[in-house]
Structure 1
Amino acid sequence: MLTNTDLGKLIIRLTLGCLLLFHGIDKLMNGVGFIEAQLISLNLPAFLAWGVIIGEVLAPLMIILGFHTRTGSLLIVANMLVALILVHSHQLMLLGSNGGLHLELQFFYLMSAVAVFFLGSGRYTLRN
């Protein structure tokens, strides 16, 4: 029987997973050159940029399918923390012209992944 809780978990999983997956597909199609440049500027190896594929392709697919959902959500949390530190640290508390934070989208992904970690996948998963 479908419960509101299971439906809510499915909706948040699909929203987080699908929206973040679009970013991963873009990186698969267009490369990770921007991230490589950021890493090089910090004297870090450029190949680490390809880790974004884990956080923006593999992890969202795990969450969408409900396969090791909590692990997938932790991968997204790590991915978003790295993105905030590597690319957005200068914008952390800046307000936009509409009164919202510049980084609302990044915080949405981060906190939605934290919520999915604590909520779990619910009843509707690849395994059910």
Structure 2
Amino acid sequence: MKKSEVGALILRIFLGLSFLIHGVSKFQNGIENTAGWFESLGIPGFMGYVVAIIELVGGLLLTIGFGTRYIAALFLFIMVGAILKVKLAAGFMGNGQGAGFELDLAFAVMAVYLFLNSKSVLSLDSKLFPKSQQ
């Protein structure tokens, strides 16, 4: 096992757990509130449900390494949307009234890495689909 594989494992688990926790939070705080917040941003409310489910289920799947490339692509899409629609105006580090987009950008970059390097010997994908290793 290479050090880079261990690094990718750590990155995948961290990103997966981070999204899983954010998804759980959306449901615990009232998914209707999340849908309402999306609507206040000019985004259809049902997208709040979609994002919460992607974060919850995708976070779990990414943590175990199943569907890594697809989940990473969805997470990247969510982070780009969050940066452009919510955080960009506050700047990289924030404006004193709200957080900046540095964490969202870090999550997006991690997702890009996992999308490009989705196969790892330390994932469920590699155990279930060994012939599709790239």
Alignment partner of 1:22 is 2:21:
yes
Residue of structure 2 equivalent to 1:113: 111
Q: Whole-Å Cα distance in 2 between the matches of residues 106 and 39 of structure 1? A: 17
1:34-113 equivalences in 2 (<5 Å): 34-93=33-92, 102-113=100-111
Q: How far does the alpha carbon of each residue in 1:56-86 deviate from its partner, in whole angstroms, 9 at most, with x for none?
A: 1122222111111000100101111222233
Query: Alignment length, in residue pairs?
Result: 124
CA distance in 1, matches of 2:109, 2:58: 15
Higher RCO (C-alpha 8 Å, min separation 6): 1
> Which residue of the partner structure matches residue 130 of structure 2?
none
Q: Which runs of 5+ in 1 are unaligned?
A: none
5+ long unaligned stretches in structure 2:
128-134
Q: TM-score with structure 1 length normalisation?
A: 0.81
Check conservation: 2:75, 2:108, Cα contact below 8 A. Answer: yes
Equivalent pair of 1:18/1:64 in contact (CA under 8 Å): yes
Q: Once the 2 structures are TM-superposed, how far is the Cα of residue 114 of structure 1 from its aligned partner?
A: 0.7
Aligned residues of 2:26 and 2:34 also touching (Cα < 8 A): no
**RMSD of aligned C-alpha atoms?**
2.3
State TM-score, norm by structure 2: 0.78
Structure 1 residue 24 displacement after superposition: 1.0
